[in-house]
Structure 1
Amino acid sequence: MGISPQSDFLRALYQSWSDRMAANPGLTIADLRSLFDEWHQPTLEPEGVTYKSARLSGIDAIWTLPEGANTEQVILYTHGGGFAVGSTDSHRKLVGHLAKQLGVTAVVIDYRRAPEHPFPAQIEDSTAVYKELLARGFKPADIITSGDSAGGNLAISTVLKLRQDGVALPAAVIAFSPWLDMEHVGKTLQTNAATDALVSKAVLEGMSGMFLGEKGSRTDPLANPLKADFRGFPRLYINAGAVETLLDNAQDLARIAKAAGVDVTLSVVDGMQHVFPFLAGRAPEADDELRRIAQWFKRS
């Protein structure tokens, strides 16, 4: 079965970014942030969801509040963008769709970004917000960490850091197209290079350089969770598009976590690009995936 015509919207957007970046190699980080804030465009506005700006532990955030949601359950969402771009604005609608499908609330955070704030600033922020949620009365069993791409890395590494610090862990983790490999050794970086409209090895090398800075290590498990010990990790849902270069990050994570005894679900969808749930409300592939995640969540 072929992909839907609607799903090409995301590929076309990614190709336009790639073309613009290639034509303007001198783009500043401010320029790139403006470019990537177009990431919201494939996502249609979810019906019956309101939003509220907030600050948690001194960090700007947006609450997504679906009508009728269980207000005792919350998704802590970390946006993608190579740790350097992306924002609450680019991801608000996507998280609205996710929260609505799961029947819970969510909070998207504007964690500090590289290169101004290299690793581990991002994890410091996400763990601080998690602890703030606990202080506000949320139970660990009612919290989910989630994110996409670099934010998918953070959704995982946040839990690893909480475990390291002896903090009670969330109930589950949901990662969309997680970018985990800071060594850039995955085979699909080459085999899917012609089909991924956005993510290339060169892009990842630039982003990881900004993220790690002068002191970060490419093999630190909190920067590269493929090097982590996943024993005792919460149940985990991972998805990826079959044509993206980061496909084997998702596959390797699933294999490593399963070997450590984690309850893992991996969903790879044919023909889909990086973080294809951005097509929520527009393309059936994204809506179907969110429904699968909701079924997975509700069987807990």
Structure 2
Amino acid sequence: MTNTETELAAIRAMLASGQRPADLAGRRQRLDDLGARYEIPADVVVEPVDAGGVKAEWTTTPAADPTRVIMFLHGGGYISGSIKSHRHMIAQAGREAGTRTLALGYRLAPEHPFPAALEDALNGYRFLLSRGFLPENIVIAGESAGGGLTIATLVSLREAGMALPACAWCSSPWADLEMSGDTMQTKAAVDPLIQGPYLHELATAYLNGLNPRMPMVSPIHADLRGLPPLLIQVGSDETLLDDALRLAGVAATANVRTTLQVWPHMIHAWHLFYAQLADGRRALAEVGAFVRANMS
């Protein structure tokens, strides 16, 4: 086996060691526990903050430029995930980019269905502006559901006539809440985390009876004209592979400068496992290079 195969085998075994809980509290705790497996380096400063009424958290490393920031929207299918579950990963992304990070603990479904998460993302961006951050020194980023939410946030900012951030990073974006992509079936046997039936359950909770083709929940149907440069990263072993491919196509057709990276053999949200996965570290280094290039 190659080093990558060995690393992925260990991660797959870890993920397979426990069943997904049936109850909502258990699912939320499971994802938080996954993130808690990874320690935060001693030089990372963590500071809770109220970001315009949204629970949030700064992370800063010694080399971070205090005037530059990545605003991060976590994954978890809109029903789970938190600041805690993704803290280690976004802190490392900030280190690679030389920025501060602001992770938002946006409201979750089913208690808070659409548009609560989008409202919180917009409030987080307004909070950064109110704190003196220039739009050209802000990045909006998101993983999985947070990736789709990132695009919805950008489109909403454009529609409101607000200045857009320097760029955006989408990791394994969930961009189609109809789950109509071919890889929902063709990659089902190799994706250890995300399957169609579970995603349908999550979409039902988030949509609360609304049309899954709405552009603000499924941005493959959105008009992306005028958006800033996008970096879209996805693993080839993801059921959401087609979401990323189609999102990149929609963006490119709208004349958005789009960088699409398909990482061979990588699984959903592989950045979370960067401490034990070399390609996770490499992917975050690519994020850092992208951010630096678009802020310079």
TM-score tier by shorter-chain length is: over 0.9
In structure 2, relative to structure 1, the CA distance for the partners of 1:277 and 1:43 (3 Å cut) is farther
In the alignment, is residue 12 of structure 1 matched against residue 13 of structure 2?
yes
In the alignment, is residue 211 of structure 1 matched against residue 206 of structure 2?
yes
1:290 corresponds to: 284
RCO higher in structure (CA 8 A, sep ≥6): 1
Aligned length: 293
1:248 corresponds to: 242
User: How far apart are the structure 1 equivalents of 2:168 and 2:41?
Assistant: 22
Secondary structure (helix, strand or coil) at the match of 1:173 reads strand
User: How far apart are the structure 2 equivalents of 1:152 and 1:285?
Assistant: 19
User: How far apart are the structure 2 equivalents of 1:47 and 1:102?
Assistant: 18
| Range with greater deviation from structure 2 (286-295 or 199-208) | 286-295
2:59 corresponds to: 64
In the alignment, is residue 280 of structure 1 matched against residue 259 of structure 2?
no
1:235 corresponds to: 229
TM superposition score normalised by structure 1: 0.94
Consecutive unaligned residues of structure 1, counting only runs of 5 or more, are none
Runs of 4+ in structure 1 over 4 Å off: 41-44
In structure 2, relative to structure 1, the CA distance for the partners of 1:118 and 1:174 (3 Å cut) is same
Consecutive unaligned residues of structure 2, counting only runs of 5 or more, are none
In the alignment, is residue 89 of structure 1 matched against residue 84 of structure 2?
yes
- Say whether the 8 Å CA contact 1:39–1:90 is kept in structure 2: yes
- Say whether the 8 Å CA contact 1:44–1:279 is kept in structure 2: no
1:165 corresponds to: 160
- Say whether the 8 Å CA contact 1:43–1:282 is kept in structure 2: no
Deviation at 1:273, TM superposition (A): 0.6
Percentage of pairs with the same residue = 35
Deviation at 1:4, TM superposition (A): 4.3
TM superposition score normalised by structure 2: 0.95
In the alignment, is residue 37 of structure 1 matched against residue 32 of structure 2?
yes
Secondary structure (helix, strand or coil) at the match of 1:237 reads strand
Which amino acid in the other structure matches residue 12 of structure 1? Answer: A
1:269 corresponds to: 263
- Say whether the 8 Å CA contact 2:66–2:99 is kept in structure 1: yes
In structure 2, relative to structure 1, the CA distance for the partners of 1:96 and 1:8 (3 Å cut) is farther
- Say whether the 8 Å CA contact 2:139–2:291 is kept in structure 1: no
In structure 2, relative to structure 1, the CA distance for the partners of 1:93 and 1:39 (3 Å cut) is same
Deviation at 1:291, TM superposition (A): 1.4
Which amino acid in the other structure matches residue 175 of structure 1? Answer: C
Deviation at 1:44, TM superposition (A): 4.9
Deviation at 1:41, TM superposition (A): 4.8
Any idea what the Cα deviations from partners look like across 1:44-87, whole Å, max 9, x if unmatched?
A: 53453221111111111111101120010111101100000010
User: How far apart are the structure 2 equivalents of 1:12 and 1:54?
Assistant: 36
User: How far apart are the structure 1 equivalents of 2:38 and 2:235?
Assistant: 17
Which amino acid in the other structure matches residue 125 of structure 1? Answer: D
Secondary structure (helix, strand or coil) at the match of 1:281 reads helix
1:259 maps to which of 231, 240, 253: 253
Which amino acid in the other structure matches residue 188 of structure 2? Answer: A
Deviation at 1:43, TM superposition (A): 4.3
In the alignment, is residue 187 of structure 1 matched against residue 187 of structure 2?
no
Which amino acid in the other structure matches residue 76 of structure 2? Answer: G
Alignment of 1:92-107 (within 5 A): 92-107=87-102
User: How far apart are the structure 2 equivalents of 1:65 and 1:145?
Assistant: 16
Which amino acid in the other structure matches residue 262 of structure 2? Answer: V
Which amino acid in the other structure matches residue 182 of structure 1? Answer: L
- Say whether the 8 Å CA contact 2:53–2:123 is kept in structure 1: no
